[in-house]
Structure 1
Amino acid sequence: MCNYKWFRNSIGEAALVVGEVISVDKIPELRGRVFGAVMAYLGEVKKKPGGPPFVAYHNINMQALDVEASFPVLAKLPGKGDIKPTTIPGGEVATCMHTGSYESIKDTYAAFMAWVKEQGASQRAWPTSLT
């Protein structure tokens, strides 16, 4: 069950990310490793995150998820090593909150996409989860 919300005017924001292709069961390890590395880098450059950590999904293959994980930042920063600068696109954004395991997220995603379609909208970008 989701609490659906619609934001019509989300703005784009800068972020630092680490991209990988992993299976769904590796997401908890990825989050810990990437979030720790990015926080260490932000400490080096004396900056703070601009919002909560996230994982962006670029496909829905649970055995080979193409993901980017990290934090938004308050200003564009250079990358370092595997940490790359990017921009989270702005525009219309629909949200819902998934409660449960990563293995069950596909059911929430299916229900959410049905709700988006009922609103007369369509998906223009891959989903992102805030942690």
Structure 2
Amino acid sequence: MGKISEIMLLKQPEQPALAVEVQTDMNGMSEAIGKNFVKIDSLFKEQGEVTTDIPYVEYPDFESLTEHNIKMIIGLKSSKKLQGEGDIRSITIPERKIVSCLHRGTYSELAVLYNEMMEWIKANGYKLSGTSIEYYYSNPNVPKEEQVTRIEMPLL
């Protein structure tokens, strides 16, 4: 199916979050994401908090990712600064401009939307920061072709 919203330029406010940095490969991605979402959510519950958005995975320097070398920052946003624990860090996502779009379909189809978003950024005179963030709206039991993902690309 592909893109299900227009590509939008948004101003994102400063936002506290809890996050874990992970290095893995394609085969370990699903497990790393699932395991760390659960771990971070448990820390939220211990502190009596709930997330302010759906879980996200940030891919710093996403254009350099390879099948065997994937760096991810897995996180949940909060309404206030929370305490980190172990490898879970308390972070503040800075206020920034982002380009955002929704996609329905398999993850393998996301490359087409990434390319379209990068072209939009160039055509509108913006510069990409090199980071992409994906928000996964669907649980793993949803058929692959029905999965919904929001992509955000912070700008410089």
Please indicate the TM-score interval, normalised by the length of the shorter structure.
Answer: 0.7 to 0.9
Aligned to 1:62: 66
Kindly tell me the number of residue pairs found equivalent between the two proteins. 130
Residues 59, 65 of structure 1: 8 Å contact kept: no
Which residue matches 2:142?
A: none
Which ranges of structure 1 fall in alignment gaps of 5 or more residues?
none
CA distance in 2 between counterparts of 1:130 and 1:49 reads 13
Which TM-score applies when normalising by structure 2? Answer: 0.75
TM-score (norm 1): 0.88
Which structure's relative contact order is higher, taking Cα pairs within 8 Å and 6+ residues apart?
1
The residue aligned with 1:93 is 98
The 5 Å alignment of 1:89-128 reads 89-128=94-133
Distance in 1 (CA, whole Å) between partners of 2:104 and 2:96 is 25
The within-5 A match list for 1:1-131 is: 1-2=2-3, 3=5, 4-7=7-10, 9-60=11-62, 61-63=65-67, 64-131=69-136
Deviations 1:17-57 (A, max 9, x none): 01011223433222211111111111111111121110000
Per-residue deviation, 1:95: 0.4
CA 1:108 to 1:24, structure 2 compared with 1: closer, same or farther past 3 Å?
A: farther
5+ residue gaps, structure 2, are: 137-156
Q: Deviations over 1:33-87 (max 9, x none)?
A: 1111111111111111121110000123132121101200111112101111111
**Contact 2:51 2:77 (C-alpha < 8 Å) held by counterparts:** yes
Q: Could you tell me how far apart the structure 2 residues matched to 1:107 and 1:25 are?
A: 22
What's the % identity of the aligned pairs? Answer: 22
Alignment RMSD: 1.7
Measured in 2, the distance between the counterparts of 1:21 and 1:100 equals: 25
Preserved CA contact (<8 Å) 1:54 1:69:
yes
Partner-residue secondary structure (3-state), 1:105: helix
**What is the CA–CA distance in structure 2 between the aligned matches of 1:103 and 1:25, rounded to whole Å?**
14
The farther-off stretch of 89-98 and 10-19 is 89-98
